[in-house]
Amino acid sequence: MKEFAGKIAVITGGGTGMGRELARQLVAEGCNVAMCDVSEATMAETRRLCEVEKLPQGLRVTTHVADVSIEDHLKRFRDELAEQQKTDKIHLLFNNAGIGGGGSLFTNTREQWERTFNICWGGVYLGVRTFLPMLVKADEAHIINTASVNGFWASIGMNQAHTAYSSAKFAVKGFSEALINDLRLHAPHVKCSVVMPGHIGTSIVSNSRKVQSGDGSERLNAEEVVLTRKRMVAAGVPDADKKSDEEIQAAFAERARTFLEEAPTTAAQAARIILDGVKAERWRILVGEDAKLLDERVRAAPEQAYDRAFYESFTQEAGWRLG
């Protein structure tokens, strides 16, 4: 697929981050976009940004509230899309939605763990299941599944468990690679790519907290304050055990801010890399120099990938401050 003009793209998690930037760049190239998210307000802002420059006549940007971990939500999204976009086919499926959290089998609840896994993995699986018939009906189509560097390296540091997100992203990577031949055998006009971003400047830290808690607030609840303080103590933050609850709240807010604003790759840059990768029909799209570096290091020394020396050496070279 060398151009996107006149095509129809589905984007999950279109309210913020890479999903928003994919929508903006696709629309700028003349592509119709149907996006879903759990937040109607953030999608409205994405749509407004898409429409800042007057849309070409007939181009459609539609928004649909859906939780990608719930199959009935995705089916409703599909049916609304078909009606509002006036189509029975789509050309691009970006399974982009994801959250963090629920990292530990010990300190997090089963509900938190499975919430992360069911969105990050289940949303991709159900997205493909739901939209595959519409992709097959197109003359050419492409599935783009967002995994992560955590799809080949299950860690963000030595002091924080990261099992739910990493398990989901490993599943997305394996599923996407297996799809390559499944599609080749049964629908050769449909391609598939797996996207593996490094640290991208998005709102995933604050968004994950909102989704996991269900209250939509920017602030930690009492239980989250306790867990955050424990993580800070384990990470060796000076006097973390003596910090007040408000100081813990401030530390969390600062972490969310730095993750968004101080990342080595912006969401807009990431979206451009992804779209260029789709046009080049690359099945494996690494996003960011940190992703490329980590991929090289894990391949070179897989047995050492979870040793402290590996982590410290990599983060020093890549400039990561995540764990």
Task: Catalogue all structural domains in the chain, each as residue range(s) with its CATH number.
Answer: 8-202+266-318 (3.40.50.720), 204-262 (no CATH)
**Counting every residue, how long is the chain?**
323
* pLDDT-derived band at 183, boundaries 50, 70, 90: very high
Nearest by Cα to 155 from 228, 105, 103: 103
Q: Is the pLDDT of residue 210 over 80?
A: no
pLDDT of 204 reads 72
Q: Is the pLDDT of residue 323 over 50?
A: no
- For the chain, what is the mean pLDDT? 92
- Put residue 199 in one of left, alpha, beta given phi > 0 → left and psi -120 to 50 → alpha: beta
pLDDT of 53 reads 76
Computed on alpha carbons and rounded to an integer, the radius of gyration of the chain in Å comes to 20
Percent above pLDDT 90 for the chain: 74
pLDDT of 219 reads 84
- Residue 222 to residue 17: CA distance in whole angstroms: 28
pLDDT of 281 reads 96
* pLDDT-derived band at 57, boundaries 50, 70, 90: confident
Mean pLDDT of 60-82: 98
Least confident of 7-11, 62-66, 74-78, 97-101: 97-101
- Which is higher by pLDDT, 283 or 263? 283
Nearest by Cα to 211 from 141, 143, 120, 89: 120
Whole-angstrom CA distances from 318 to 158, 199, 272, 291, 292 are: 16, 10, 21, 9, 10
H helix count then E strand count, the chain: 12, 9
pLDDT of 322 reads 55
Taking only the tens place, the pLDDT of each residue in 74-111 is 999 999 999 999 999 999 999 999 999 889 999 889 99
pLDDT of 303 reads 98
Mean pLDDT of 240-251: 84
Whole-angstrom CA distances from 98 to 117, 146, 154, 226, 263 are: 9, 9, 16, 25, 18
Structure tokens belonging to residue 84: 């509002």
pLDDT of 110 reads 95
